[in-house]
Amino acid sequence: MTKLLPLPNTGALTGILEALAFFRDPSFAKKRFDRLGNVFETSMLGQPMVFIQGDKAIADLLAQPEAIEGWWPESVQQLLGSHSLANRNGAPHKARRKVIAQLFSSSALQRYSSGIVNLIDELSKEIRTSKTPFPLAEKMRRFAFSVIATTVLGLKGNDRDKLFTDFEIWSKALFSIPIPLPGSPFAKALKARKRLLEKLQVILSQPLNGKGGLDLLAGGLDEAGIPFADEDLGEQLLLLLFAGYETTASALSCLMRELLLNRHLETWLREEIDTLDWPPTPEQAHMVYDPANAPRLDALVKEVMRCTPPVGGFFRRTKKALVLDNIVVPNNRVVQVALIASNRHGIGDLDIFRPQRHLDNECSLNLMPFGGGERVCLGKSLAELEIRLMVIGLFSNWQLEVIPDQDFALRQVPSPSPRDGLLVKVKV
Ligand code: HEM
């Protein structure tokens, strides 16, 4: 029998320097894994936290659902709210997941796909009339927000725009120090949260306009005993706006950045795009660019998620002592699955961006950009659909080029995104 080992520790006590390093240094976890192994403990602002990487440790964690529960940092917990399914565990979590999952079934996606195609065509028209360079990352944010706000939740243009400003204030403080000092980002975000919930409540109390997917929820809500216009549902919608927006916008912006900075990649992808029709028919839009028909696009998306995962890590809390990759992790420990480090942990050129690795099954990493187990992302298929439609729609219509004098580096928090917004212009 293999001998079990104690949990290595960085020795950090207050965790102030560790937290600063975590937010500033994308190699934070890698440096510590190199020194301490695949499972180690440190402190982040006084919160003990176990970091894990590698297939074995992650599989060991997710194989024991009864011994773990969901966990998010205090700032996320407070800004999402106590009703949010992200902050719930056990039966209340399962019941809400079942209700919300109805918004992402394959028939729901089919329903949304022509709305998504319309949003891409609107963006195309905007690009046609733009005389000056524009920040592509900003356009991706607007698009991802519109998909979830208009196409899924059925909000009208006016309601959506009113939400957007508060939403930007709210989401900026999600991963911040949760002390509401007057004027601090967290204090502003708490106020924005209140306004957002009030607006969502008003929207929920109006008759459904037949657009979006909210009508799909009715039966499930009754079954779960949640009234339709309840604060509970408001908080689930707030979660969807957040979860469905920042992450998808990040994936799209990072993908565009790779394509526009590496012309050989764009040429390689265009060979495939040239074989595909745009726009797709309404009946086929939800599946016509799937991996079977667009394998290069699929490989590109996988590589973006590997190199710049929109969510750098996801969390669980242990409800009893667990053995992860031979290391004993005690009860009541927060475990962070460190995706950035894990995605580069293995043999070969894993530090290089090379989508082709996913085409020949040469990549043996078990990628988990959408998390795993009982809390795996509910919006995975929607996010993938949005990304595929946007890449094909945009690149079928336009040749874009980047403006040279800008910072192409990525800011990391809350999700990777080009610092200067990826300024581009249409190639003439
Ligand atoms: C590229 C885009 C996206 C990425 C990378 C992503 C990633 C993730 C990750 C890592 C988690 C945590 C999973 C876990 O703890 O195991 C999560 C949870 C979640 N995501 Fe996504 N997500 C994306 C898009 C979306 C979209 C479009 C929606 C819906 C509109 C969505 C809704 C959710 C919800 C509701 C949860 C909470 C699930 C639960 O706690 O049971 N996500 N996502």
DSSP of 83-103 = TSGGG--HHHHHHHHHHHHGG
The verdict on residue 420 lying in a domain is no
The verdict on residue 401 lying in a domain is no
CA 86 to centroid of ligand 1, rounded, Å: 9
Cβ contact 2:33 at 8 Å: no
The number of C-alpha atoms within 13 Å of 311 and in the hemisphere containing its C-beta is 22
The verdict on residue 4 lying in a domain is no
To test ligand 1's pocket by mutation, which of 77, 175, 247 has the most ligand atoms within 8 angstroms of CB? Answer: 247
pLDDT at 222: 67
Give 3-state DSSP helix, strand, coil % of the chain, rounded to 5. 55, 10, 35
Which atom of ligand 1 is the closest one to the Cα of 241? 30
- Helix pair 263-273, 246-261: axis angle to 10 deg: 110
Strands 334-338 and 322-324: unpaired
Q: Which amino acid is at 335?
A: V
Angle at 357 between CA 353 and CA 362, to 5 degrees: 145
CA 145 to centroid of ligand 1, rounded, Å: 15
Residues sharing a CB contact under 8 Å with residue 243, sequence separation 6 or more, in sequence order = 86, 377, 378, 379
At 68, list the tokens: 């773990």
d(CA 256, CA 264): 13
d(CA 325, CA 353): 28
What's the number of domains the chain is made of? 1
Furthest C-alpha separation in the chain: 69
CA 402 to centroid of ligand 1, rounded, Å: 30
pLDDT at 194: 93
Cβ contact 424:133 at 8 Å: yes
The verdict on residue 417 lying in a domain is no
Cβ contact 338:371 at 8 Å: no
Question: Long-range CB contacts (< 8 A, 24+ apart) of 294-298?
Answer: 294/388, 294/392, 295/359, 296/268, 296/269, 296/271, 296/272, 296/355, 296/359, 297/269, 297/272, 297/273, 297/388, 297/391, 297/392, 298/358
How many other C-beta atoms can be found within 10 angstroms of the C-beta atom of residue 226?
Answer: 19
The verdict on residue 2 lying in a domain is no
Q: Which amino acid is at 291?
A: P
Residues sharing a CB contact under 8 Å with residue 158, sequence separation 6 or more, in sequence order = none
Which position has the token pair 């216009």?
Answer: 229
Phi, psi (rounded to 5 degrees) for 343: -70, -10
The number of C-alpha atoms within 13 Å of 428 and in the hemisphere containing its C-beta is 7
Q: Whose CA is nearest to atom 30 of ligand 1?
A: 244
What CATH number corresponds to the domain at position 322? 1.10.630.10
Strands 334-338 and 47-52: parallel
The verdict on residue 425 lying in a domain is no
CA 159 to centroid of ligand 1, rounded, Å: 24
pLDDT at 216: 80
CA 287 to centroid of ligand 1, rounded, Å: 21
pLDDT at 279: 92
Cβ contact 232:204 at 8 Å: no
d(CA 257, CA 252): 9
What one-character DSSP code corresponds to residue 149? I
d(CA 200, CA 242): 14
Give residue ranges with CB within 6 A of ligand 1: 70, 85-86, 97, 100, 148, 239-240, 243-244, 247-248, 251, 310-311, 314, 369-372, 375-379, 382-383
The verdict on residue 84 lying in a domain is yes
Q: Record the pTM.
A: 0.93
d(CA 376, CA 367): 13
Which atom of ligand 1 is the closest one to the Cα of 382? 27
At 371, list the tokens: 């998390």
Which atom of ligand 1 is the closest one to the Cα of 368? 10
**What's the domain range around 46?**
16-396
d(CA 38, CA 34): 8
How many other C-beta atoms can be found within 10 angstroms of the C-beta atom of residue 275?
Answer: 9
pLDDT at 406: 92
- Strand, helix or coil at 415? coil
Q: pLDDT tens digits, the chain, 428 residues: what are they? A: 678 999 999 999 888 999 899 888 888 999 999 999 999 999 998 889 999 999 999 999 999 999 999 999 899 999 999 989 999 999 989 988 988 998 999 989 999 999 999 999 999 999 888 888 999 999 999 999 999 988 888 887 777 888 888 888 998 888 788 888 999 999 999 999 999 999 888 877 776 666 677 888 776 776 777 766 677 888 888 899 888 888 999 999 999 999 999 999 999 999 999 999 999 998 898 999 999 999 999 999 999 999 999 999 999 999 999 999 999 999 999 999 999 999 999 888 999 999 999 998 788 888 999 999 999 999 999 999 999 999 999 999 888 899 999 999 998 888 899 999 999 998 87
- Strand, helix or coil at 161? helix
The verdict on residue 346 lying in a domain is yes
To test ligand 1's pocket by mutation, which of 370, 384, 417 has the most ligand atoms within 8 angstroms of CB? Answer: 370
Closest CA to 145 of 80, 241, 76, 234: 241
pLDDT at 229: 61
CA 242 to centroid of ligand 1, rounded, Å: 9
At 182, list the tokens: 């007057």
CA 244 to centroid of ligand 1, rounded, Å: 7
Which position has the token pair 């911040």?
Answer: 176
CA 235 to centroid of ligand 1, rounded, Å: 15
To test ligand 1's pocket by mutation, which of 82, 307, 377 has the most ligand atoms within 8 angstroms of CB? Answer: 377
What one-character DSSP code corresponds to residue 310? S
